[in-house]
Amino acid sequence: MIAFDQRNAGRTKSQHSGRRDSYVDAADLAFALELLQIPPVHIFAVQLNSIWSACRFSLLFPSKCLSLCLCGVPADEPLDWVKKAFMDLVEIWAFPTTLEVYEEAILEMSYFMWSGVAEWWMINSPPAKRRTVLELSLCILPQYIGITHRVFLDFLCRQPAVPPFTPGKPDVLKMAKDALHLLADLKGDPSISQRDPSTPLSFSMWSEEVAEAFQAQIDEFGIGIDKVFSPLDANGQPIRKFSSRHDDEWSSDHFAVLRETVKNLLQGVKVETQAVGQEILSWHPASIK
């Protein structure tokens, strides 16, 4: 299994460009596979950018794609309020003035992107179903890992043998020219086939106006980048753990009502919790000496 970072992700560094879109990301992947002389691959893509790039990759470079596995396919066009909310969050995250503002942006971003997971758990695993959750957790035993490995190995052994692959000389230009001609046919624009095949940016489908507007936004975000607030210390580590962000404020008046509410809730479930805990300890395997 090979995991490719997108440009400017992970340790990858490249020049920022307003022309970048999912077609460019697809071309990046094709260029990498050709230069590394990797044979045709099965593509596994999860969510948003990865799925858009994978679909365009299979469309423009079909000889390099054996199959597609897409997980969490997004809508063709996000709702306007979703785009606005997300951009507002990006604005807060990109221009924080204090550590508290930055942490709040992270909290809101995680809720915005993964709130559906929390909602699923609330619906399918509420406290009333705690016995089901406990039963499921008790089924996760180390012995099952060995069974999984044997089943997976048996599955692999049943697959047809992979023919030997002899790396040849990379021909990125020919590959890119063919893909640009295909893209020109798909878009009905012959001028696309005349673009420079030596760069993935030639596959961009943004208009000049959109690309210039995006580049202006990128340049604006770069202003004062050397003086921007940093949530890291001199060693490049977070100043404090995200989970401890409210420790210093817990005794303030701002949290007095919340603290009292939690206290009342804990008192209300204390007796029941203790009874259930004693019952679990009486038969849980971990308590058997």
**234 within some domain:** no
User: Up-side HSE of residue 142: CA atoms within 13 Å toward CB?
Assistant: 0
Contact 137, 284 (CB under 8 A): no
Whether 104 is in a domain gets the answer no
Total number of domains constituting the chain = 2
Per residue in 189-236, pLDDT (tens digit) is 999 999 999 999 999 999 999 999 989 988 888 888 888 888 888 888
Residue 277 belongs to a domain: yes
Do 7 and 70 sit in the same domain of this protein? yes
Does some domain include residue 179?
yes
Structure tokens at 91: 């604005």
Rounded-to-integer distance, Cα 178 and Cα 64, Å: 13
Kindly give the pairing relationship between strand 65-71 and strand 41-46: parallel
Asked whether residue 288 is assigned to any structural domain, the reply reads no
**Of the residues 206, 225, 260, which one is the last residue of a structural domain?**
206
Same domain? 174 vs 70: yes
> Considering the domain boundaries, does residue 160 fall inside one?
no
User: Tell me, what's the pLDDT at 181?
Assistant: 97
* Partners of 46 in the β-ladder: 71
The pLDDT assigned to 227 comes to: 86
d(CA 69, CA 227): 43
Number of neighbouring beta carbons within 10 Å of residue 27: 27
Tell me the average pLDDT of the chain.
78
Are the C-beta atoms of 92 and 104 separated by less than 8 Å? yes
- The verdict on residue 263 lying in a domain is yes
Largest pairwise CA distance in the chain = 77
Domain boundaries, position 9:
1-74+170-206
Give the predicted TM-score (pTM) of the model.
0.67
Q: Are 33 and 168 in contact (CB under 8 A)?
A: no
Residue 106, in any domain of the structure: no
Domain boundary among 206, 228, 259: 206
Same domain, 190 and 258: no
User: Which of 206, 232, 264 is a domain's end point?
Assistant: 206
Over residues 30-70, the pLDDT tens digits come to 999 999 999 898 898 988 789 999 999 999 999 999 888 89
Contacts of residue 33, defined as CB under 8 A and 6 or more positions apart, other chains included, come to 41, 64
